[in-house]
Amino acid sequence: MSYMIKLLSNLRVKELKDICRTYDISGYSGLKKAELISLIARTLTEKNIQDILTQKGLIDGEVESIKEIKPIVKTGREVETRKYLNYLLHSLSVKELKQVCRDFQLSGYSGLKKVDLIDFILDSLAEEEYYRFLHERELEIIGNEIETAIGKIQGKERETISDITIVNPDLNEIEITFKGFNWETVSFLSITKDNISNPDRACDCRTGANMGFCNHFWVGFIFSLKEGYFDLSDWKLTRLPENFETKIKSIQIKASPQTQQKEEKDLILVDKSTDSAKIMEHLDSRITVYEGEIVEIEEKVSEFQDITTTYYILQLKNVKFGPQLKKKSDYDESKLDELDKLFVRISDNAYDKLQPSVGDKITLNGTVNKDNFLKMFILKRATKIKKL
C-alpha cells in the first residue's frame, strides 16, 4: 500500500482534490499536497487507490498485494530481509541505484556514493517496499550475474577462470582465481549443511567484497553444486531462474591438464555444450596440432613501453590436436580431438621462416591461452612449426 501511496505524489493538488470530490471525501479544502495524500490514504481502500493509479497511467493494470508477494519472495530464507536486500543491491551500479530511488519516489540521494546510496535506500523504504522490490527485481539481478558466471565458464567474458582449488575438503572450501587482461580476482566460497542459509564467502571484486552475489560467487556456487556439496532443494537464500538447472546441465568439472599427474589437482569447469569446450580443457597447457589448414593470416602490431612488436594470427580449420607428448611412443590417434577453428599466434621471425600461405597445412606445438583483450582462445608460444 505504501508503494502506491508514494505514486500519488506524482499527481497535482488539483487532481488530488478531484479524487476527494469523486469519492465524497470531506475536509480536504485548504489542505496541502502531503496532507491531501494522507487523507486519501486513510479514507480509500487499496483497491480504490489502485484503480486511480491505473486510470492516471501510473501503474499498468492490477498490482499484486503484499500478501500475495511476500510468500513468493521469502522462499524460506532465514536471513533478515534488509540484510538480504543489502547483499542484492551491491550488484547494481550507481546509475541503477539512483533509478531505484526515482522508482520509489525518494529524494535527497544526489551526490551519494554507492555504499551510501544503498544505506539510503534501505533506510528510506518501508518493509512492504522491500518485498515489492524483491518481487520485481530479484530474479533479474540474480539472473544477470548467473549469465555472466556461465559466460566466464564458457570463456566468453573478459575474465577467465584460471584455476579452482579445494583448499579444505572437510568444510567444502574452494578458492577460484580469475584472470583478466591485466588483473586477477580471487574468490572464496564454502557451502555446507551448517551454513547453507548464508554461506561463508569472500571476493576481491567490489560486489563480492560486500557479501554481494557477484558472478564470481555464482561460478563457485555452480562448482559446489556439481561437486555435490549441497542439494539445490536445500538452497533458500536466493530465488533462482526457472531454467537454472537446464542452463548448467552441460557444465562439468575436470582436472586441469597440467596438474593431472599431481596428487592434489587444480580443477576447471567446462561447458560441454559450447564449441570452445574441447580447447578450454587444455587452458594454459601445451598441445600439439597434428594438422590444420590455414584459412586466414592477419598481421598485427602492438606497442608496450615504447617497444613495437609485430606478430601474426593464423586462423586454422579442420584441426586435429592432442596434449603435447613427452614420448612419441605415447601417441594414440584415438585420443585426438578435432576443432572446426583454431587461432595461432606466431612471431614475425617464425613467420619469415615458415612463409605461410592460405591453404597450407601445418603442424606445431603451442600453449592454449585465453586472450582477454581479443576475447578468444589462442595458441601462443608456438614451436616446431612446419608445413605438411
Nearest Cα to Cα of residue 244 among 140, 148, 160, 147: 147
Nearest Cα to Cα of residue 320 among 334, 305, 310: 334
How confident is the model at residue 62, as a pLDDT? 60
- Where residue 100 falls among pLDDT bands split at 50, 70, 90? very high
Question: Does the structure show a pLDDT above 80 at 65?
Answer: no
What are residue 305's phi and psi, to 5 degrees?
A: 50, 50
DSSP-derived pairing of the beta strands 160-168 and 173-179: antiparallel
What are residue 332's phi and psi, to 5 degrees?
A: -140, 105
Q: What mean pLDDT, rounded, does the chain reach?
A: 88
How confident is the model at residue 320, as a pLDDT? 93
Q: What is the pLDDT of residues 209-227, one digit of tens each?
A: 999 999 999 999 999 999 9
120: CB partners within 8 A, 6+ apart:
101, 106, 108, 109, 112
Question: Does the structure show a pLDDT above 50 at 350?
Answer: yes
Range picked from 188-192, 273-277, 285-289 for highest mean pLDDT: 188-192
How confident is the model at residue 64, as a pLDDT? 67
Q: What is the pTM of this model?
A: 0.74
The mean per-residue pLDDT over the stretch 134-157 comes to 93
The whole-angstrom separation of Cα 347 and Cα 354 is 11
Question: Does the structure show a pLDDT above 70 at 382?
Answer: yes
Count of CB atoms situated within 10 Å of the CB of 121: 24
Question: Does the structure show a pLDDT above 60 at 240?
Answer: yes
Q: Judge contact between 388 and 320, C-beta under 8 A.
A: no
Q: What is the pLDDT of residues 30-62, one digit of tens each?
A: 898 888 888 888 888 878 888 888 888 877 666
How confident is the model at residue 265, as a pLDDT? 54
Place of cell 564454502: 190
How confident is the model at residue 58, as a pLDDT? 77
How confident is the model at residue 63, as a pLDDT? 59
149-153, 236-240, 330-334: which range is least confident on average?
A: 330-334
Q: Judge contact between 345 and 312, C-beta under 8 A.
A: yes
